[in-house]
Amino acid sequence: MRNWLICLLATLSLLVPMSIGVWAQGSGVIEGQVFNATPGGATVENVTITLWILDGQEQKVLQEETTDGEGKFRFQGLDTEGYSYQLQVDHQGVSYWSDVATFSEGEDTLSIPVTVYDTTTDDADLWVEKAHLILDFQAGTILLQEVQILLNNGNKTYVSPGGEGGETIHFPLPQGAANLQLMQGMMACCVAQTEKGFAYTRPVFPGVQEFFFSYELPYQSPSYT
């Protein structure tokens, strides 16, 4: 779910920011600090941080600020009722997002940290921690559902050597596979077809990431190998 939200908001960030000043009248304050969790990583000084406002199904850019020498920031004049907020920081070409936050009744200040990582094109710290394959035999067709749990055991975000939008993780499919369905962990905007299957095209953040997809294979005999 988290990756679905990241993919959606990354797409929305490409839109031209819309003026929603009528939503920003109030006494609310959002403050916090950007942290680089990569040991010895790049500075987070003078980094642009974007405040998004969420109203039901609408997400729009509200304000932008620049971090100080310690990575700290502050937004003020915010409405404390009826809206949620989320912060976005771009670091070394990758977007990072805070948790969604809402002012509680009587609360006028929120403290929200944002964690970023340096990037790497070395995939040595990536491996599949667990994999599950579920087979459902139907008339002349096998429905295969795959769950792959990927671990980035490093302290850097893995990005494609091919640059932004390049392939990061490859998922091979058997010959004859059809009707690929992307579920948890992936959206159509974030994959690309390859000669042997398909590939994920988003950065891979440190930690665990789950991918769930399905496809069909034809078969003619009582057994399939």
pTM surpassing 0.85?
Answer: no
> For 29, how many CA atoms within 13 A lie in the half-sphere containing its CB?
7
126-217 topology per CATH? Immunoglobulin-like (2.60.40)
- Dist. CA 43–CA 90, nearest whole Å: 13
Cα–Cα nearest to 62, from 37, 96, 85: 85
For position 222, what pLDDT does the model report? 58
Euclidean distance between the first and the last CA atom of the chain, given in angstroms as a whole number: 34
Task: Looking at the structure, give the CATH architecture of the domain made up of residues 2-8+16-117.
Answer: Sandwich (2.60)
pLDDT band at 21 (very low <50, low <70, confident <90, very high): very low
- Dist. CA 52–CA 132, nearest whole Å: 37
pLDDT in tens, 22-80: 455 789 999 999 999 999 999 999 999 999 999 888 899 999 999 999 999 999 999 99
CATH 2.60.40.10 occupies which residues in the chain?
A: 2-8+16-117
DSSP letter string over the chain? -HHHHHHHHHHHTTSPP---GGG--SSEEEEEEEEE-STT----TT-EEEEEEEETTEEEEEEEEE--TTSEEEEEEE--SS-EEEEEEEETTEEEEPPPEEPPTT--EEE--EEE--EES--TTEEEEEEEEEEEEETTEEEEEEEEEEEE-SSSEE--TT-TT---EEEE--TT-EEEEE-TT--GGGEEEETTEEEE-S-B-SEEEEEEEEEEEE--SS---
